[in-house]
């Protein structure tokens, strides 16, 4: 009997140790209790001072993790393990997460400051009525160029990237949708094309661009362009804003024939533990003062019309980053292509990369 009692006590002790170990792990990773808010966001995509301000005002401890692509974010949340309370995907990924039932519906009755948002950025096709997401930032894809190497009148369209003058002097962002998209737009096609003939044409045209392509990179574009290591590059508007601050010879242009209009929105994953904290954070970011501070720090365009009024005039009136409606109407939002065509885009992009070698 004593042996049995000892065995039972030993089992209970092991269970207790395991329980305490799991609890400590959860606590260390910021997943325990309602006092922590776990945010999953793009790298350098919020002013750190705002996170400290939110912690001070709300009493929450913020556990902040970053990702470098929508796909990486999707995979990690789908796999589980970390209960993220907030994440900030792009529009096509929001569509995908909605289809996969990975998001909690937004209770708009709990929101304070929704009226601060520009109506143009609400009720969009990827999330009608904003049932699952709240606008965070928006922007465009375009060309940044250095006027020391190429004139303003020489770089207004996607086709200008193919000019012999730019041999070994163009940098491309490392993204299948972006690179295939610019070629599709240059041919007059949609950047969401599912027409195999159009995609083949776009890839063949890209293959003819290889002599001009100096590199296919990501964040490094900022440093290269500021240091004048290339005449032109394809990049996002917010990245371009940082580059313009670093070099007065740089300029950003949105090709008139069409480009990408993108949106990053705040969502609440279905695995969230601190729902109240999620709404507190969304309301905090809807405040005009906080949204304006964030926009100045990040350089991307704010969808918060009340915040835009607080920005310096040289920012809010700059049509490179706040284009007028005439320009916006020629832009397209990325759609969720589905697994089949996403694979085709990735394969064609890889073909283009291999062709360069």
Binding-site residues for spermidine sit at 92
- DSSP type of residue 80: -
Chain centroid offset of residue 275 CA: 23
- Candidates 225, 53, 57, 262; CA nearest to 148 is 225
Extract the tokens encoding 177.
């949708």
Q: Is 258 left (phi over 0), alpha (psi -120 to 50) or beta?
A: left
Q: Are 260 and 330 in contact (CB under 8 A)?
A: no
Name the burial class of residue 36, with classes exposed (0-12), middle (13-18) and buried (19+) by CB atoms within 10 angstroms of its CB: buried
Binding site feature residues? 92
**What is the DSSP annotation of 19-71?**
HHHHHHHHHHTT-SSTTEEEEEEETT-S-HHHHHHHHHHH-PEEEEEEESSHH
Extract the tokens encoding 327.
């320009």
Q: Are 30 and 38 in contact (CB under 8 A)?
A: yes
- The helix, strand and coil proportions of the chain, stated in percent and rounded to the nearest 5, come to 50, 20, 30
- Candidates 231, 270, 262; CA nearest to 98 is 270
What stretches of 188-276 adopt beta strand conformation (E)? 213-217, 232-236, 250-253, 259-266
Name the burial class of residue 315, with classes exposed (0-12), middle (13-18) and buried (19+) by CB atoms within 10 angstroms of its CB: middle
């Amino acid at each position: 009997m004593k042996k049995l009692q000892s065995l039972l006590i030993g089992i209970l002790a092991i269970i207790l140790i395991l329980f305490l170990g799991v609890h400590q792990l959860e606590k260390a990773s910021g997943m325990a209790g309602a006092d922590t808010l776990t945010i999953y966001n793009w790298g350098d995509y919020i002013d750190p001072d705002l996170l400290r301000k939110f912690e001070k005002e709300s009493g929450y401890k913020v556990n902040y993790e970053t990702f470098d692509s929508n796909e990486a974010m999707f995979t990690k949340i789908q796999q589980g393990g970390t209960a993220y309370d907030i994440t900030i995907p792009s529009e096509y990924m929001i569509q995908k997460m909605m289809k996969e039932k990975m998001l909690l519906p937004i209770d708009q009755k709990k929101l304070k400051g929704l009226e601060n948002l520009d109506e143009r950025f609400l009720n969009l096709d990827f999330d009608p009525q904003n049932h699952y997401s709240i606008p965070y930032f928006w922007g465009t894809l375009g060309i940044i160029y250095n006027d020391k190497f190429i004139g303003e009148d020489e770089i207004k369209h996607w086709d200008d990237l193919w000019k012999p003058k730019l041999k070994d002097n163009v940098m491309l962002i490392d993204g299948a949708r972006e690179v295939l998209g610019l070629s599709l737009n240059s041919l007059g096609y949609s950047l969401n094309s599912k027409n195999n003939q159009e995609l083949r044409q776009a890839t063949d045209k890209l293959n003819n661009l290889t002599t001009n392509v100096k590199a296919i990179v990501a964040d490094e574009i900022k440093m290269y362009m500021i240091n004048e290591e290339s005449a032109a590059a394809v990049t996002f508007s917010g990245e371009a804003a940082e580059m313009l601050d670093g070099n007065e010879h740089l300029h950003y242009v949105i090709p008139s024939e069409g480009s990408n209009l993108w949106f990053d929105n705040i969502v609440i994953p279905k695995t969230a533990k601190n729902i109240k904290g999620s709404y507190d954070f969304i309301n905090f970011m809807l405040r005009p003062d906080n949204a304006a501070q964030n926009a100045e720090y990040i350089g991307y365009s704010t969808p918060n019309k009340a915040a835009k009024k607080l920005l310096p005039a040289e920012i809010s009136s700059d049509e490179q980053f706040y284009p007028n409606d005439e320009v916006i109407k020629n832009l397209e939002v990325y759609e969720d292509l589905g697994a089949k065509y996403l694979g085709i885009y990735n394969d064609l992009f890889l073909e283009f990369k291999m062709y360069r070698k």
